[in-house]
Amino acid sequence: MGLKDAEVMKEGIIMKKLMTLALAAAMMLGAATGASAIDFKAKGQWIMSFDYGMHGNFSESKAKNNSGFKNEDEFEARQRVRLQLDAVASEALSGTVFFEMGDQFWGKGDSKSDGGALGADGKVVELKRAYIDWMVPQTDLKVRMGIQGLALPAFTTNASQIFDDDVAAVTLNYQFNENVGLTAFWARPYNDNNGYKSSDTSKGQWTNYMDNMDMFAVLLPLSFDGVKVTPWVMYAAMGPGMFENDFAKHDEIVNGLGRAQKGLVSGFTGFDKNDTYGNAFWAGVTGEVTMWDPFRIAWDVNYGSASYEDEKMNREGWLASLLLEYKLDWGTPGIYGWYGSGDDSNPRNGSERMPVVSANGNNDFSNFAFNGNPYIAREAVLGTTMVGTWGIGARLKDVSFLEDLKHTLRVNFMGGTNAPKMAKYVRDGYNEFASEWGNKRGINTYYGVGTNDPMYLTTEDYALEIGLTNTYKMYDNFTVMLDAAYIALWLDDSRNTWGKNPGKGALGGDGVYDAWNVNLSFVYSF
């Protein structure tokens, strides 16, 4: 083959590639034209967050630990990006995909998933939600299928203390009339996660045997002139192998701490047969009265129980909260309070704290003590929920003296509702009921049980929180928030409770210190 023939062949190959590209472009154009009936809508949020604080665990001085916030220095910078895309075919059909990138700590690159160190090559894209919305033809029944955000109702805190998180589920919504609606869902939080096996060795061991959790709920929102009330119920079946099978003592029983996570068991070590389901039930009545506007009354009353074959694993309790507020031109003053049942003095009968699935919403009562910050600042230093505690608070909400600048001041005084006698089981790792590896955040935290609850406070323990939140709307889509919070903690040092020097004996540190934090966040939303 001559040089000229080679050039002709090369030109032919190039022409074929160009024709292929042109054909592909035409196909893409045709596809785009054919899909013109689909309306794409995009939403998103960028957060740049900066924290400075100390003593997040209330127990370690600067000399021992830089901040007391888990794996963090006194000063930390982080960011998060969320992007949502809706593909809307009509009012009766749409699909949504929701991605999240972060939280990324600036400078952190311990793994490929961090992406905050020099080079920024982390694999940080996460699927947060993905679902379809559709309506049953000729009806008003709305259906949502897929990974979605679900929450039980809450009119006081605006964040359920039982269940508020992303989960795979099927949700049904129907509005009978302007006054009565109905919501029902089936959710599957856990299934096939740990290779749990059956104990029937005669027929072989079946992997992923009874390791699922299924939740079923019905909500009845009622709306009248100036009054809203939502009664609801929820049931959950919990297989013995949802999380762990490493603690099996023999073929017939499994360590109860591996059966369910955090807020679903008592925290006291128990054993349960691995061929039985645990059962959980919750019910509540929530609502608000606005007929005397600008005066508003809101309440939440919740009850829950989780039962197993071993009574020591059981958990049953309640939580109620009340809010009174009055909206004025310059702001909204309000007072509120809550009470959650706590453990009695007998660990052998389980826990008297309300069981919790996952409370990941933003609690309006506190940005720091509980899970309440609207962005990605430090929070929940006492716990993600209010179970096992009581409290009263006052706030001035959305006070504004200058355009686009608002302030919210909160003062909370709170304590525990758990029996003082229970402190020794938490403090000493007593017998079979607590862990010998440390218990500063609740009972038996070595297995992760109790960390979903507040710091274990008895009826002799108290805390005071002061928080100030300032938000400035710099542009229509750009907000700057400066949030400062301080919590003073008093633990009873009597022999009947935590004993001398609770900071060392109860918290495992070198003293009891007040926790504080200042957060500066820059938020772009569209």
CATH for 180: 2.40.160.100
Distances (CA, A) of 413 to 81, 347, 461: 35, 28, 11
According to the model, what pLDDT value does residue 32 have?
Answer: 46
Q: Which of 149-163, 327-341, 368-382, 440-454 has the lowest mean pLDDT?
A: 440-454
Tell me if 105 is assigned to some domain. yes
According to the model, what pLDDT value does residue 524 have?
Answer: 98
Please state the rounded mean pLDDT for residues 404-424: 95
- Does residue 326 surpass a pLDDT of 90? yes
Distance, CA of 448 to CA of 437 (rounded, Å): 12
Closest-CA residue to 268 (of 426, 505, 438): 426
According to the model, what pLDDT value does residue 428 have?
Answer: 53
- Does residue 111 surpass a pLDDT of 70? no
Give the domain range for residue 46.
Answer: 37-525
Distances (CA, A) of 9 to 13, 23, 451: 6, 21, 70
How confident is the prediction for the chain on average, in pLDDT? 84
Closest-CA residue to 520 (of 483, 470, 487): 483
Which tokens in the block code for residue 94? Answer: 């749409």
Place of tokens 């060795």: 201
Q: Which of 160-174, 237-251, 483-497 has the lowest mean pLDDT?
A: 237-251
CB 28 within 8 A of CB 15: no
Which tokens in the block code for residue 248? Answer: 């099996």
Q: Is residue 23 very low, low, confident or very high in pLDDT (cuts 50, 70, 90)?
A: very low
HSE-up of residue 443 (Cα within 13 Å, Cβ side): 31
Give tens-digit pLDDT for 189-216: 988 877 666 666 555 566 777 788 999 9
87 strand-pairing partners:
40, 95
Length in residues, the chain: 526
Residue 115 C-alpha from the chain's centroid: 23
Closest-CA residue to 141 (of 104, 183, 100): 183
Give tens-digit pLDDT for 239-259: 877 765 444 433 344 444 455
Looking at the 3D structure of the chain, how many domains does it have?
Answer: 1
According to the model, what pLDDT value does residue 27 have?
Answer: 43
CB 262 within 8 A of CB 448: yes
Tell me if 4 is assigned to some domain. no
Tell me if 402 is assigned to some domain. yes
According to the model, what pLDDT value does residue 83 have?
Answer: 97
Q: Is residue 432 very low, low, confident or very high in pLDDT (cuts 50, 70, 90)?
A: very low
Distance, CA of 43 to CA of 41 (rounded, Å): 7
Tell me if 9 is assigned to some domain. no
Place of tokens 């740990």: 194
Residue 225 C-alpha from the chain's centroid: 33
Distances (CA, A) of 319 to 301, 417, 514: 6, 11, 27
Tell me if 445 is assigned to some domain. yes
Tell me if 503 is assigned to some domain. yes
Tell me if 15 is assigned to some domain. no
Give tens-digit pLDDT for 257-270: 455 666 888 877 66
Which tokens in the block code for residue 197? Answer: 């096996």
Closest-CA residue to 211 (of 229, 230, 198): 198
Give tens-digit pLDDT for 25-81: 444 444 444 445 899 999 999 999 999 999 998 988 876 767 888 888 999 999 999
Tell me if 23 is assigned to some domain. no
Q: What percent of the chain has pLDDT over 90?
A: 61
Q: Which residue has the higher pLDDT, 260 or 292?
A: 292
According to the model, what pLDDT value does residue 210 have?
Answer: 76
- Does residue 226 surpass a pLDDT of 90? yes
